[in-house]
Structure formats: C-alpha cells, structure tokens
Amino acid sequence: MQSSRGKPLSIAGLVCRCGAILFALLTANAAATDLKITATDPAPDALLARQQPFYVQFELRHATPATATVSGLYKGKAVIDDGGTGSPALLPANGGTGVVSFFYWGEKPTRIDEVRLKVSDTQSGTTIAEYNFPVTLTWLMDDPPARVPPAWVTESKRIQAAGGSADSGTLSGPALWIALATIVALIAIAIVWSRRRQTQTPATEVETHE
C-alpha cells in the first residue's frame, strides 16, 4: 500500500521539481542581456556639424520588452548642455535591432570621448544594463552639409515615424512564467489523480466457510 501510494507522490514531486527548474531557467534568461554595437554614422572619430546626429545601431537580446537610450560623455561625465537626443529605441520581447542618436548645437566645439547606451525594462523602467564604448567625436559650429545617410538610418527613421518597433505578440516575462507554472501544476494534479484511480481496487465480498 505504501509503495503503491508512493509512486504518484514521487511522480508529482518530480514534475514539481522540473517546473521549479524550468522557472529558474526562465528567470535566468530574463536577466541575461546581450548587446552588440553593429554600426555608427558617421564614424566614431568624426567631426560633426551643428545639430548633426550621431547614430548608433545595435543588436539586443533580452527576454522582456526593453527601451534603449543614448548619451555622450567626456572624461567620465555626461555632457548635457546644448545637446539633444533622438527617440528611444523600443524593442519587443527577445530583442532585435535598434537605432539611437544624439547631437549638440553649442556656440563652441563640443567633444565626446565615450558613448553610453542604457537599456531599461519598458514596463518598470528599471535599468537592465549599460554599455559604453570609446569615441573621438567633436561637434563644430558649422551647419551640417547635405549628405545621404546610410540605408539603416533611413529605415530607423521610417520605423519611428510609423510608431516604433512592433511587438512580437508572444507571452513574455511574468505572464509566461505564470502560464508555465500553471501548466506544471495541472500536470502534477492529473498524474496524482490518475495513479490513485489505478491503485484503488473495488470492494469484494469476503466468503466465509463454516
């Protein structure tokens, strides 16, 4: 009796443990962030005209929807006077390719020796990761000359004008974890119920002999 009842409990325990492991793996994937710079326009050692944007294209891999912003630094300090940025890059769950930009219009040259990308959780605003890379940029006081931007810059402008990055339409983050945990619990209940039905025997009449 104990061994027959022990089987459903052990199976249910195994299923629950598998669910806990799966939950832990999903949590680790959600926390992991992979960011790679793929291109800049102009080059990271360029002289730029007044209000000429410096574009940064990047690839991000992250489980939940994220927002990326960019800023310029000089000798470790953010340079915010007489400057501006483009729209933040909005990326769906599991990430994708984004483009951010910033510029300056000061009455004197503005130098930048480092660019910082900040990735935040779109829903909570919590900072997920920061990525810095060195540059040698100088914004001059001249008006920007006419130039044809690369195709990826033109495409990023088109996407922003259309309302940003499209969502993937899949479950992500806490919603996905809750759904998986519910499935695991239902499986465990079904196994226990099925095993108990199999181990139960119908009552039989006991024959007595005189």
**Per-residue pLDDT tens over the stretch 89-137:** 999 999 999 999 999 999 999 999 999 999 999 999 999 999 999 999 9
The model's pTM is: 0.66
pLDDT band at 190 (very low <50, low <70, confident <90, very high): low
Average pLDDT, the chain: 79
Distance CA 92, CA 163 (A): 13
What is the spatial order of strands in the sheet that 34-41 belongs to? 34-41, 54-61, 96-104, 83-85
Q: Which pLDDT tens digit goes with each residue over 45-54?
A: 999 999 999 9
pLDDT band at 153 (very low <50, low <70, confident <90, very high): very high
Q: Which pLDDT tens digit goes with each residue over 17-35?
A: 555 555 444 444 445 689 9
Question: For residue 198, how many C-alpha atoms fall within 13 Å in the half-sphere facing its CB?
Answer: 10
> Tell me, what's the pLDDT at 145?
78
Percent of the chain with pLDDT over 70: 63
Torsions phi, psi of 76, nearest 5? 85, -5
Residue 161, pLDDT above cutoff 70 = yes
Cα 177 → chain centroid: 15
Torsions phi, psi of 205, nearest 5? -75, 140
Distance CA 164, CA 58 (A): 15
